[in-house]
Amino acid sequence: MASRLPALALLGDDDHATPDGPDTWPGARRVLAWARFILIHGGAGHPEQYEHAIALTCLHKRLVLIECASANIEAWKAAARRWGMGGEGLVMQPPPGFPHPSLDRGSMA
C-alpha cells in the first residue's frame, strides 16, 4: 500500500566544480515521473524558499526539489517536460547577471 504521507525527493546538481544537468542522473527520469510537482531551484537558498517547498510537498504529496546551477535550469525544465507525468511545477532562479553557484562566497547569487 502506498503511503499517504507527503514525500520530497531532493536532487543536488549545484556542485561548484561540475554541475552536470539531468542527463547524467540515472534516476532522473524515474523520480520526475513519480513527482506530482517539480520545483527547480537554481539560485541561492533562502529559508522562505524551502518553507514554500515544504508547503508545496504537503499540498501535492510527491514533490521533487531539483537544486541546480543556474546554467542548467533550461536543461532541467526540458527534462521535466520530457519525463514528468504532466504535473505542475515552479522554477526559482536568480536575476539576470547573478549566476548560481557563484565562486564569490560573499555574493547572494
Full domain range(s) for residue 48: 7-16+23-92
Average pLDDT, the chain: 79
Instruction: Specify the pTM.
Output: 0.80
Residue 99 placed within a domain = no
Least confident of 9-13, 24-28, 41-45, 70-74: 41-45
87: how many CB neighbours lie within 10 A of its CB? 17
Residue 2 placed within a domain = no
**pLDDT on residue 102:** 55
Closest CA to 42 of 79, 13, 21, 69: 69
100 with 47: CB under 8 angstroms?
A: no
Residue 107 placed within a domain = no
CA separation for the pair 13, 28 (Å, rounded): 11
Residue 77 placed within a domain = yes
Residue 72 placed within a domain = yes
Residue 105 placed within a domain = no
pLDDT band at 96 (very low <50, low <70, confident <90, very high): low
Task: Determine the Cα angle at 100 with ends 88 and 75, to 5°.
Answer: 45
Residue 27 placed within a domain = yes
The strands making up 7-13's β-sheet, listed across from edge to edge, are 7-13, 62-68, 37-41, 88-92
Q: Which residue has the higher pLDDT, 91 or 55?
A: 55
**pLDDT on residue 70:** 81
- Condensed to tens digits (0 to 9), the pLDDT of residues 27-70 reads 889 999 999 999 998 777 778 888 889 999 999 999 999 988 88
**pLDDT on residue 24:** 83
Residue 35 placed within a domain = yes
CA separation for the pair 53, 96 (Å, rounded): 23
Structurally, the chain folds into a number of domains equal to 1
